[in-house]
Amino acid sequence: MNASNATEARALPTTMRAGRILAPNRVDVATVPLPVVGPDDVLVRVARAGICGTDIHILEGDYELARFPLIPGHEFAGTIVAVGANVRLHGVGDRVTADPNLPCGRCPECQRGAVNQCHDLAVVGVSRDGAFAEYVAVPERVVVDIGDLSFAEGAMVEPVACVAWGLKRLRLEPGSRALLFGAGPMGCQLVQALKGAGASAVVVVDVAPSRLAMARRLGADLALLPDELPAARDLAPLGFELVVDATGVPAVIEGALAHARPGGTLWVFGVAPGDARVKFSPYEMFRRDLSIVGSFAINQTVPAAVSMVRSGAIDVAPLVSHVLDIERFEEGLEIALHDPDRMKVQFSFGEDGA
């Protein structure tokens, strides 16, 4: 940590380029003022920022925490270029990422340590401006050093931290066989996380052959198209101890429980639309000792995520399929929305992000 007395490394511009969502399904790239840096904040020059499924929900006007107009972007990495007067542990030049979730610290959920359930949760890139811009300001308390990780990897720490929080919620039974729906960027992180956490086999299902190939490369024992699913029965004739949804598709979630072994668990990881409903048989839940575990966002798991990426426990570099300059903001969103083969789409900003 190179805590510096200087508040700025060099003269900063007064304006920056930013991708914005003005209202649902209305976007632009504009020149806007630099964010205000409060006394407890650091200003980060963004090198890379990734598009997440949440950004797509925000774009489509389907995310309750979102406020418009908004500069989205909550998965990012970059370099600190200025610090507020009260900042002590970070300095100009530090290579960092951040936990985008800003819990209030005072409500009953925060007081019991469930900061992701905060009653007054602010989220960088969701309820306040985020990192699809050349600069983003965040409180020092959520900043985490990325050391020698590349910025591309650093911008993947946030999703890995969501996986890490889910793993803590899940308390995986060692030797479990897992059936995982969805081989996108999250699914391909989950494959690695589950194998590392003691799963004896992970079977992945997706509709995109290119994604299945990536899941195989990153450790999936079987990677199947939906109509090939019966082949998974050889691996787990009595059903799977763990079934994971990383698609957020209600029909997939509804069908998933049928693959669980008695005593098994369904982990709801994907983000379904807020108004979606699925049908389960309560009798089946009762009769077969089934459990459902949800996990939302991050609860103090960003440092663990940095360790997991640095150690190679979760290899994220192959998951970045597209890197676009922020001027191509709309095109990046289009790729994230419509290209079935895309994995993580990241925006870059100047030389650092190249």
Note the residues at the interface with Zn ion (CB under 5 A).
Answer: 52, 54, 103-104, 107, 110, 118
Nearer to Zn ion, 50 or 91 (CB): 50
Residues 6+ apart with CB under 8 A from 331: 324
Nearer to Zn ion, 240 or 329 (CB): 329
CB of 99 vs Zn ion, minimal distance in Å: 11
Nearer to Zn ion, 299 or 348 (CB): 299
CB of 224 vs Zn ion, minimal distance in Å: 26
CB of 163 vs Zn ion, minimal distance in Å: 11
CB of 26 vs Zn ion, minimal distance in Å: 21
Nearer to Zn ion, 50 or 353 (CB): 50
CB of 84 vs Zn ion, minimal distance in Å: 22
Angle at 206 between CA 200 and CA 208, to 5 degrees: 130
Nearer to Zn ion, 47 or 121 (CB): 121
Nearer to Zn ion, 107 or 324 (CB): 107
CB of 50 vs Zn ion, minimal distance in Å: 8
SS (H, E, C) the chain: CCCCCCCECCCCCCEEEEEEEEECCEEEEEEEECCCCCCCEEEEEEEEEECCHHHHHHHCCCCCCCCCCECCCCEEEEEEEEECCCCCCCCCCCEEEECCEECCCCCHHHHCCCHHHCCCCEEECCCECCCCECEEEEEHHHEEECCCCCHHHHCCHHHHHHHHHHHHHHCCCCCCEEEEECCCHHHHHHHHHHHHCCCCEEEEECCCHHHHHHHHHCCCCEEECHHHHHHHHHCCCCCEEEEEECCCCHHHHHHHHHHEEEEEEEEECCCCCCCCCCCCCHHHHHHCCCEEEECCCCCCCHHHHHHHHHHCCCCCHHHEEEEEEHHHHHHHHHHHHHCCCCCEEEEECCHHHC
Residues 6+ apart with CB under 8 A from 169: 293, 294, 295
Q: How many CB atoms lie within 10 A of CB 39?
A: 11
CB of 297 vs Zn ion, minimal distance in Å: 8
Closest CA to 185 of 149, 210, 148: 210
CB of 325 vs Zn ion, minimal distance in Å: 21
CB of 91 vs Zn ion, minimal distance in Å: 27
Nearer to Zn ion, 240 or 269 (CB): 269
Nearer to Zn ion, 129 or 241 (CB): 129
CB of 2 vs Zn ion, minimal distance in Å: 29
CA distance 325 to 327: 5
Nearer to Zn ion, 91 or 130 (CB): 130
ω into residue 24 within 30 of 0, thus cis?
no
User: Side chain identity at 285, as an amino acid letter?
Assistant: M
Nearer to Zn ion, 107 or 213 (CB): 107
